[in-house]
Each structure stands twice: as structure tokens, then as C-alpha cells.
Chains A and B, each alone.
Chain A
């Protein structure tokens, strides 16, 4: 078995140490004897929807995000839509999450989105939403807690056809108003919990590994349990920082 990961725009969308997520996935596969391959797709690069089972896109600075938005809709939209429809897992974080929707109104400019989730993002006047955050996420096996850090100027509003990733327990979430955080559709997850959120939430990392392997090999694998003492302590630490 092999986990095949593709990072989208790793050179541009990496501002909050997003590589921590990739390192985390890699080690957890290696320790279980699962193969791991990782590659990147940058500006202009085509994407083969069948070649990878877990797609990742992180956060970036405004300038990079503008460029990525324009490039992504021309060079990658169709392939990513096909991959998600075919059961591939996609994790989009922070700036990457904003690009999943229909559009992102950034000051005077409307950035195009992938349209993979029914949501819109607007840069509204008012302070950035910054701080530790904890949400209660529902991914099919009952509510579980995700802890992390958010830092975004954009406010995201879900359309009637979209389900949030979870409910905000502490923090601001999608827009600081409606109490929701992120988006979840099939095996696609978008969230404002930025940068290395998987190290703070090992259960989500294992969930993504499971989904991706299931897509490749047909049956849902039972992942071998690991000694997660450090991981659990880190999760508790991030939760405590958010006040949960």
C-alpha cells in the first residue's frame, strides 16, 4: 500500500509551516509500513486526477493567493473536481480553503475559486480573525474535537448546499458570526485551522490516510495503532491554548 499525496502550489501556499502536515502524514505511514509518495504541482502544471489520492493546499500571502487563484482555475480546476468526485481526499487550509468556493472578494478584486464547495469569501472591514481555536467536527463517526490556530482577513459564508466541517467551540471560525467552521463535502475538507493542524490532531491525519487508501485500494483499511503519547499530549496542549 502507498499513500500518494500531491501538494498544490507548495512554493506559494506554505506560509504557516504547512509542510508540517506533510511530514506528519509521511511519518505515520512509514511507521506502519505504508509507502508514501509526495509531489508538488506548481503554476501551470497539469494534474492527473487518478495519480494521487490526497490533495493538499495550504495558506499564502495575498500576492501569491491572487496568482494561484488565476492559475488554478485554468490549469487544475477540472482535474481536482474529477478527483474529488471520484473519492479522492482533499484538505484545503486557510488561503487554500478560500479558493475552494465560488470566489474570494479581496479588496477591489474578485478572485475566482474552484467551485468545489458552495461558499463565498469576502475581505470585510474589521480586524483579522486571529487566535487559538477549537471546533467540534463531524466526519461520520460522531463529533470529535479539532484544535488549532486561525489567522484570516477573509470571512467565509456557506451556501445553502454546503455543510460546515464543524461548530466553533472557542475561536471565530468561518466569519466570526454564525458559529460554523470550515466546509465538508464527500472527502473534501476546507478549514481555517491553519498550517500544521494535522500534528495537533492526529486522528484527522489518520482519517485522511484511511480515505485516501480506500480510494486507491477499494476497501477501507484498518490502520495499525501507533504509540500516540506525544501526539495526544500535543492535542491536549493545543486544546488548552484554545481554552477547551
Chain B
């Protein structure tokens, strides 16, 4: 391997230079972020470039994957490492398929790697990067037209984990049975090097199980799980009454959580290295899960617990995952929605806000490939939670009329629902009509459009900067 790399060194260097030049040209032209194009070119020229460049990360590589929260979790780990003076090679713009990973490897230099990786690409990227740590957060129903069924995805992940077992450490969510089971081998023995995280504060349980409930059957024997409580979607405390498989006891656990609406949360977290108090400036229980994943990973990466808490307390939101930007005198808070489980958590957070005063909303539903072409999922998200507490909503995006219809059937009065498909016109309309504050809920590509629009007005940075 090393010999081959030396012999091919000059050629690879030429390919790297060509690919970098394309990235620079792409950014200079102002036509795109350049967060994927150089990687695409590189992988065309040198299909094994990820393995070759990844082998240079001599202090180890961390991979983060999940349906929801991977950008935020990776951003949290990056913030912790940065506070330690460590600058990992990191695909921080959220471009998380092979070409995004390749672009980061091409354009950054360092001794350790930190990559968020798309669920479907995890097996392939893992094979090439040979990570020292894999962090797996959750699997929810998402873009079934692109990912297929969750059970099939979980099967692929199980093969990857089995292949890496003994060589890679894992940080796994104990509360997601699809993830937790990956930490046990075929004989149900715990694998080496697995740390579990989870929520141990029962007062945070949902009053009832949600509609989009994704892990119904025991991964071991196929019988339905019994849930004592659920916190987010199917994340919770469960066991199989048939074969006895149960939630592992988490090594890192939030034992006491106080949610403070959009302001974030306050948690007591038990770790093997002692207890910490975490004041997290990101809202919602879903971000507590992201923080637990980041704390577990950071411990594994050798950071002391109190230093982790301090770094996360200073954390800024990852791109589009809860940012506030001023538009025409109105504070616009952006919250990405992309699937039922994630949207439900955003709706729960907004419900807390709306208990203070009615809220103004902008919801943008796109159906481009990166959103999932199928917009059926909006009927699985509990928009009913905000019925009666929304002053006004403007629906935008390529499927705006279907969003508006969903809200009508969630019990929102139709005279408070407006449809303005264009991103710019609709945002201005929503901001002009908002009292003081506007909550913007875009799907992924609508977020990219929004970000570009705001950057064009000098209100936000382009996301690749």
C-alpha cells in the first residue's frame, strides 16, 4: 500500500492540483459553493483518493452518521476539538457524500479527520477511511424514494460495524433500538470499544407515541418492542418481551434536563469521567441527543468532560440548524425541517415559544432530489401541535400548495395561511407581516436558496465560507 502510494505520488499530486484549481475557479465564478465539485473531479481522476488522502490522517478519523443531527453533532465535536487547539479535516459545509468528503480531504490539511457521512454512503466511506471512531445517532424514516427502507439501511450498517469491530471504537445511541443493537455481536455479546449514550430523565417522555414511529420490531427476534417511554420519535426506553433484548445502560446519560424553548437547554450529564452541567444554546430535546453524541465522542477523543461542557456552551448553530438573521427589522430564526421526526421536534420547540405569544411562520416545502421528490411525509409530521397558536403562515417552495393544504387539515384557520411560491417574494411577505420575530422552516434545498438569498443581500455568509 505504502509503496504503491509512493510510486503513484507524482501522478496523484497532479490530479490533486487539477481538482483544487477547479474548486478555486468554481468559487471565483460565484456560481456555486465549490464544496463538492473538486471532490467530484478528484474521484473521477483517482477513484481511491479518499483512501489515499485519508491514510495521511495519522491521529485518527471520526465519522458521524444519523438521519437527523449529523451536521450539528459533527459541528459540536469540531467546536470541542477547536477549543483544544485541534483542527481536524472536516466537511463542515454539510456536503456528506463521497465527493464532499473528498473535497474536504483535498482542501484541508491536518492530522485528524472528522466527517459527517450520509446514511446511505456510510458503508463505502467507512471502507475507504478506516475510521478510529464511528458515531451513530439515529435512523428515522426519511426520503424513502432515495434511501429505501430503514430496516434495509440498518442491515447495511450492521455489516459495516461487524467488519470494523475490534479496529474502530463506537459511540452509539442506546435509545434507538436500530442503533443500539449494532453494539452487540451475533451472539448478543457487547462489542469491544462501544460507548452508549441516552436520556435517563423520564420527565421528558412524550405523552404518547408519535405517528411516525419507526422501530417497531426487535432486531433480534422480530417481535414488537414494548416501550416504557419515548422521547423523540422511537428514541426511548424499550425492551423485547419475547427474547429479552433491551436498551443498553448508557455510559453517558442526561439525567436531568430543563428545556428553555428557543434559548436551549440545561442538562446534568453523567459520564464515566464524572458528572457535568451542560448549558446548551441550541433548542429542543433533539439537540440534547446531538450533545450526548458529541460528549461521548469527545471523551473518546481524549477531551476532559468539563472542557467539553465549556466548549459546547459556546457553540453556534451549524449552517441552517437554528440560526437567527435580521431581515427588515424582523429576527428570522431558521429551523431546517426535512422528515417527520425532525419536523416534530421543531414543532415541539415552537409550541413552547407559542405558549408565550402567537408566532409568525414561513414554511418552504421543496421536492428536489436532495429534499426527496416525495412530499408525502408532511402528513406524518404533527403540524396539529401548532393549530391555534400561529398568527400567520406563508407557504413557499416548489410544493407550496400542498404544504398549505396540510396545515388546513391540521386545523389551522385558512385565513391565516397564504401561498407565495417564490422563495424571495414569500420571505419578504412573511417578514413584512411578522410582528417582531419570524420562524422560517425550510426543507433542505429551500434552505440553500434562502441562504443564498440572504447572502446576496449581505445578511449572511455564503455557506462555504
- A contacts, CB < 8 Å to B: 11-12, 14-17, 19-20, 23-24, 27, 61-64, 67, 128, 130-132, 149, 151, 194-196, 199-200, 230-231, 233-234, 236-238, 241
Contact = CB atoms under 8 A, between A and B. Distances in A.
B202 interface: no
B392 to A, nearest CB: 16
A17 B399 contact: no
A19 B380 contact: yes
**Ordered nearest first, which 8 A-B pairs have the shortest CB separation?**
A20-B379, A195-B376, A17-B379, A233-B401, A17-B380, A234-B405, A237-B401, A196-B379
A202 to B, nearest CB: 9
A230 B340 contact: no
B248 to A, nearest CB: 23
A16 B376 contact: yes
Given A17-B377, A61-B149, A196-B376, A230 B404 contact: yes
Interface residues of B, number: 36
Contacts of B211: 14, 19
7 contacts: A16-B144, A20-B406, A24-B409, A63-B151, A199-B405, A199-B406, A241-B398
B404 A234 contact: yes
Most buried by B among A11, A61, A130, A151: A61
A238 B375 CA distance: 10
Interface string B135-177: 0000001001100111110000000000000000000000000
A93 to B, nearest CB: 11
Contact of A131 (B148, B222, B340, B373): B373
A238 B376 CA distance: 11
Q: Is the interface of A mostly helix, strand, loop or mixed?
A: helix
A237 B400 contact: yes
B145 A130 contact: yes
A17 B377 CA distance: 6
Contacts, number: 91
Contacts of A20: 376, 379-380, 406, 409
Contact of B399 (A64, A131, A241): A241
B127 interface: no
B409 A241 contact: no
B284 to A, nearest CB: 22
A17 B145 CA distance: 13
Nearest to A61: B149
A130 B144 CA distance: 10
B379 A231 contact: no
Contacts of A15: 141, 144, 149
A147 to B, nearest CB: 10
A149 B409 CA distance: 20
A199 B398 CA distance: 17
Contacts of B275: none
B401 A236 contact: yes
B376 A194 contact: yes
A20 B377 CA distance: 9
A132 B151 contact: no
Given A16-B376, A61-B151, A230-B404, 5 more contacts: A14-B211, A17-B340, A62-B149, A62-B152, A230-B408
B374 A16 contact: yes
B379 A199 contact: yes
A53 to B, nearest CB: 22
A151 B145 contact: yes
Interface string B350-394: 000000000000000001000001111111100000000000000
B257 interface: no
A144 B88 CA distance: 58
A230 B401 contact: yes
A17 B376 contact: yes
Contacts of B340: 17
B373 A149 contact: yes
Contacts of A11: 216
Interface in B198-243: 211-212, 216-217, 222
A23 B402 contact: no
Contacts of B404: 230, 233-234
Nearest to B405: A234
Most buried by A among B151, B222, B377, B402: B402
Contacts of B419: 233
